[in-house]
Structure 1
Amino acid sequence: MARYLLLIQLLCVTASSVHASGVLILGDSISAAYGIEKSAGWVALMDQQLQERCPDYPVINASVSGETTAGGKTRLPALLSRHQPDLVVIELGGNDGLRGLSPMAIARNLEQMVVLSREAGATAVLLGMRIPPNYGQQYTALFEQQFKDVAQSTSTPWVPFFLDGVIEQGWVQDDGIHPTVDAQPLLLESALSVIEPQLPVQCQGKSDQ
């Protein structure tokens, strides 16, 4: 009987370990902490918070400066196989927009990343983006609409504009694009609004956080 109970305990521990497989951040320079210390970026700040709550739940930052939705889609299968996350945060599209790439192609890539994540047993969340009207108001509006359409058609939790409030506060580097150190806590708050509800219960913060 004692051996049987020990076996059950071991199986429970193993199942718990497999479930708590972590968060994969698939982003561009905004999540790669371009122009600032990596330890000050919003992903590193989230990692610090989660390590205090559940140290066995890693945050894998696979963000690459200059990454597009096509690049993220190409890299994602290998990342899913290697890290086996149970949550994938997709923060891509800004570079596509700045290059004037097809909004419909952006939507297809985002949707495929959501599907790939789910097929691997992970939940996906989407951090939306907006761009300046460099290519005209019609393109700008169509670009922004793709994030909403993908989120709604795939029932994916999302943030409409990940940089909301950053420009208003003037927390932008000299290049006029990338957030400063001061903006990182705001980015973290924005990201956690959709990430936190998807985390294992033991990793979720208190209601006052």
Structure 2
Amino acid sequence: MCASFSVSASTVLILGDSLSASYGVEQSEGWVNLLQNKIPQHTIINGSVSGETTAGGLRRLPALLERTQPDLVFIELGGNDGLRGFPPQQLKNNLTKMIQLSKQSGAKVLLSQVMVPPNYGPRYSKLFSDAFISVSQSENITLAPFFMEQVAVDPSLMQRDGIHPNTEAQPIITAFMLPWITQELTNN
């Protein structure tokens, strides 16, 4: 006997930076577009902007929520905060406000862990990383591992800048993110 179930169509808002905005690759080949192809019954809206910080995401979020009315918001922000050496407490405050705004709109929230390069020193790196753990726990949301962890260590998957994933990395990121997104869409 074959069991079947149906998942109603949902709208997913991806709120990220250049890693999700397809920087340096064709938009059609970026992981967000590839994700849409994997789950065509859902609507994926890419609200990502290259260079975006958590403060910028927070400023843009209310209009995005109103316009898209998402069922799920995936937040992949913080990398540019870290690269600019912004205080981890500011990162925590902005992430918390984005999560709360998303929840108030009726959306579920999935937060991505983000990491900074090791040259920022172990103390800052730990405070930065811990900010995501702390926020996800205090807001009772799922924290997905950073999708760049496996990709960034393989130079053949990176653009020449060593920061952004190349076209070959996009399907890998899609495969990594697919279960995290679908799990959030199916869990009530």
TM-score by length of 2: 0.90
Cα gap change, 1:148 to 1:124, in 2 (>3 Å): same
Tell me how far apart the structure 2 counterparts of residues 158 and 193 of structure 1 sit (CA, whole Å). 13
Would you say 1:67 and 2:52 are equivalent positions?
yes
Aligned to 1:16: none
Counterpart residue type for residue 177 of structure 2? A
**Which letter maps to 1:187?**
I
Q: Show the counterpart of 2:82.
A: 97
In 2, the alpha carbon distance for the partners of 1:144 and 1:133 equals: 12
Structure number having the greater helix percentage: 1
**Residue pairs, 1:81-120, within 5 angstroms:** 81-120=66-105
Q: Does 1:132 align with 2:117?
A: yes
Matched to 2:154, the amino acid is Q
Q: Distance in 2 between matches of 1:69 and 1:135?
A: 19
Alignment identity in percent? 51
**SS at structure 1 position matched to 2:14:** strand
Q: Which structure 2 residues correspond to residues 30-179 of structure 1 after superposition, within 5 A?
A: 30-51=19-40, 54=41, 57-170=42-155, 171-179=157-165
Q: Residue deviations 1:58-91, cap 9 Å, x none?
A: 1110100000001001110110001101110100
Residues paired across the two proteins, number? 179
- In 1, the alpha carbon distance for the partners of 2:175 and 2:93 equals 28
Deviations 1:30-53 (A, max 9, x none): 0000001111111000111121xx
What is the Cα deviation at residue 137 of structure 1? Answer: 1.5
2:124 alignment partner, SS class? helix
- In 2: Cα distance, 1:93 partner to 1:72 partner: 10
Give, in whole Å, the separation in 1 of the partners of 2:136 and 2:85: 21
Query: What TM-score does the superposition give when structure 1 sets the normalisation length?
Result: 0.81
Task: Provide the secondary structure at the position in 2 that maps to 1:90.
Answer: strand
Whether contact under 8 Å (2:10, 2:185) holds in the other structure is no
The gaps in structure 1 that reach 5 residues or longer are 1-18, 202-209
Q: What is the one-letter code of the residue matched to 1:44?
A: N
Q: Which aligned pairs between 1:187-198 and structure 2 lie closer than 5 A?
A: 187-198=173-184
The gaps in structure 2 that reach 5 residues or longer are 1-7
CA distance in 2, matches of 1:34, 1:129: 17
CA root-mean-square deviation: 1.5
- The alpha carbon displacement at 1:158 in A equals 1.6
For the pair shown, which has the larger CA radius of gyration, 1 or 2? 1
